[in-house]
Amino acid sequence: MSHANTETKINGHVAPGFEGVRDVFAAQFESGKEVGASFAIYKDGDYLVDLWAGHADKAKTKAWARDTLPNVWSTTKAVTALCFALLVERGQLSYDDKVVKYWPEFGAHGKDQLTIGQVLSHQAGLSTLREPISTEDLYDSEGLAARMAAAEPLWEPGTRSGYHAITFAYPAAELVRRITGKTLGQFFREEIAEPWKIDFHIGLPESEEGRVAEMLAAVNASALDPTNMTDLQKLTFSNPAPSETLPNERAWRAAEIGSANGRGSASALAKLFGNVAKGGTAEGVSLFSAKSLDALTKEQILNEDLVLGLPGSWGAGVLRNLGGLLYGPNEPSYGHSGWGGSFAMSDPVAGIGISYVMNQMGPDLAADPRAMALLGASYEALG
């Protein structure tokens, strides 16, 4: 036994019957798969599971707290998608609206027929650009959005999905800005996070820096093996190519990147998606109704994704739980997963939100084995 296996203290609580979830969570620390992590299940205004453990830094000097803030990468996309669902709820846009209705310049090079729903489901043909996208470019939301508007798509828009791993954020933020006058991070904070008391951030205020988790690169090589990639996959994942540890820089955290730089705890994300699972009213504030949530989760496209190389069913910015493969056994569930392991999901059948976040990244874009083990134990307990 190496000293790495000294027992990790598991903090938080589980409801009776959910002890198996705590056992799986603990086992993943004992086997050395985790440095710091949190996992939560939220239902009806309460936590069935609310666990956290480990360390927020590589040196293991800083304990992971309930409100520690790791970078959740693409799990952020599900939160961005909720911002659009709220605009649909308020009648400020429809997913069937053409993007050019709000942003005429976006119509260049045959993109004039694209709908907002198609853009949010990765059909714009802009998973990358033909010219380089630098790290600094990622911090200039309006500038990169303008370049995407002017760009020639890499495939015929509206015909196939091709996962916009990073670039998803920029047309989304530009639409929110043009329709509301607010930045995406500001809109989320003022319209969703504050009324519902959700501790999640797209663009981290300086005041919250003390709660940041240091992100740690995957121990095993990335699942993104360039030798088996198509040209489009290679181009998308290399331009831009943020490193796993880029979130450890303040410039990244300060930016608002609605595809990749959200920060929050599992308890915050489980609460957000649990509120949505129960119909969209919480803290005495009704934000969503069946109308907007049905529109959010309605299938925009089902195909083999050109960038992921996997079959997938996309809603308007969320992954639908096709065949119960990603987010538990209930098909109406939906959510998003992030590079390295995190996820957040809403299960309207069980009326729950579930989330897992961590700082030790794994090599996968989705279906991280730690996440899947926790989900399996959760649904076993839910019966």
All domains of the chain in start order, with CATH: 3-382 (3.40.710.10)
- Note whether 298 and 287 are within 8 A (CB): no
Structural tokens at position 40: 């939560």
User: Residue 178 and residue 93: Cα distance in Å, rounded?
Assistant: 11
Check: CB of residue 21 under 8 Å from CB of residue 377.
Answer: yes
Q: Is 220 exposed, middle or buried (0-12, 13-18, 19+ CB in 10 A)?
A: exposed
**Per-residue tokens: 84:** 């659009």
Which residue's structure tokens are 């205020």? 205
Long-range contacts, 275-284 (Cβ 8 Å, 24+): 275/42, 275/196, 275/353, 276/82, 276/346, 276/353, 277/43, 277/346, 277/347, 277/348, 277/350, 277/351, 277/352, 277/353, 278/43, 278/44, 278/351, 280/89, 282/45, 282/196, 283/195, 283/196, 283/197
The residue assigned the tokens 């939906």 is: 334
- Amino acid 224: pLDDT: 64
Count of CB atoms within 10 A of residue 222's CB? 17
Active site residues: 74
- Which pLDDT score, from 0 to 100, does residue 223 have? 61
Q: What's the rounded Cα separation, in Å, for the pair 372 and 362?
A: 13
Residue 313: left if φ>0, alpha if ψ -120 to 50, beta else—which one?
A: beta
pLDDT at 3: 45
Q: Which has the closest alpha carbon to 234: 153, 305, 131, 128?
A: 128
- The pLDDT of residue 2: 40
Q: Would the pTM of this model clear 0.75, i.e. be above it?
A: yes
CB 342 within 8 A of CB 21: no
Confidence (pLDDT) at 1: 35
Mean pLDDT for back-to-back runs of 10 residues, the chain (383 residues): 65 99 98 98 98 98 99 99 99 99 99 99 99 98 99 99 99 99 99 99 99 95 74 95 96 99 99 98 98 98 96 98 96 98 98 99 92 98 97
**pLDDT for 220:** 79
Give the pairing type, strands 334-337 and 285-286. unpaired
